[in-house]
Structure 1
Amino acid sequence: MVRTYRRKTDAEEWSQEKMKEAVNKVQNKELTLRKAAEIFAVPFTSLQRRVTLSRGIIKRRGGQPALDENAEKKLADRLLHLASRGFGITPKAVRKYAFEFAERQNIKHKFDRNAGMAGQDWFHRFMQRNKKINYSEAGGSVKSKV
Structure 2
Amino acid sequence: MVKTYKKKTNRGDWAQESMEKAVDAVIEGKMGYMLAAKTYSVPQTTLERKVKASLENLAASSSASIKVLLGPKRPIFTEDEEKELCSYIIDMESRLYGLTTKDLKALAYNLAVKNNKPHPFNVQKQEAGKDWVQGFLNRHPELSIRKPESTSAARAAGFNKEVVDQFYTFLGNIYDEHHLTPDRIYNCDETGISVVPKTKSKL
More strand by share: 1
Question: TM-score when scaled to structure 2?
Answer: 0.36
Question: TM-score when scaled to structure 1?
Answer: 0.49
More helix by share: 2
Q: Which has the higher contact order (CA 8 A, sep 6+)?
A: 1
- In our comparison, the structure showing a higher alpha carbon Rg is 2
